[in-house]
Amino acid sequence: MQLKRTRRFQATQADVSVFESLAKSPTAATPHLLRWYNHINSFGDERKKFPGEKKTPLMAFDDEAAANDKVDDGGDDDDVDLFGSDEDDAEAAQIREERLKAYAEKKSKKPAMIAKSSIVLDVKPWDDETDMKEMEAKVRTITMDGLVWGASKLVPVGFGINKLQIMSVVEDEKVSVDFLIEEIQKFEHFVQSVDIVAFNKI
């Protein structure tokens, strides 16, 4: 036994409302809508006899939306604020300002990076009779904010003469290398010249 499948479509006044709201026939770009339009149009005056209540498409939409609201939240939409309120905007702005202020304060308390340099100087005496220990002591008497003296050693240069090679660490913004060399050269009874052997940023 073969069952015959049939499809039944019962047009209603809702179809008539939508049909009459259309200014003209749909195009082939919307084939389903065009087929429905032609189907309703084929009834002619018989459309007045369709069952159901005739409503404008907007009224039908409003009724359906109202029904959905009742299902979703019990029909009370006073608690739903889709776009937010002025109070919420003001509160959000205040929170944002507080966070920006806290960030600025935290950033201001963060210590700034101090640029430093490691410098190795060659301090050359006049001759082999120069007291190198005393010359080094004279050099280390130079003190200033941002200057730290490091290790030192005597390096032979020939004919029994040694030069003092001394390391220092300076803060770039506080200590000028040229000024430091000038200060060392003021010990003119001990120092013949001063040269930079190495200069490295830390």
95-114: per-residue pLDDT in tens?
988 999 888 888 777 666 78
Q: Is 122 helix (H, G, I), strand (E, B) or coil?
A: strand
Lowest-confidence range among 87-101, 149-163, 187-201?
87-101
Predicted confidence band of residue 152 (pLDDT cuts 50, 70, 90): very high
The fraction of the chain above a pLDDT of 70, given in percent, is 78
What is the structure's pLDDT at 83? 54
Q: What is the pLDDT of residue 6?
A: 47
Pick 116-201's CATH classification: 3.40.50.1820, 3.30.420.40, 3.10.129.10, 3.30.70.60. Answer: 3.30.70.60
Highest mean pLDDT among 15-29, 100-114, 151-165: 151-165
pTM of the model: 0.46
Q: What is the mean pLDDT of residues 136-147?
A: 95
Q: How confident is the model at residue 187 (pLDDT cuts 50, 70, 90)?
A: very high
Could you tell me where in the chain the CATH 3.30.70.60 domains are found? 116-201
**CA 125/CA 164 separation, integer angstroms:** 8
pLDDT of the residue at 64: 52
The residue written with tokens 């806290």 in the block is 102
Cα–Cα distances (Å) from 30 to 24, 26, 116, in that order, read 13, 7, 75
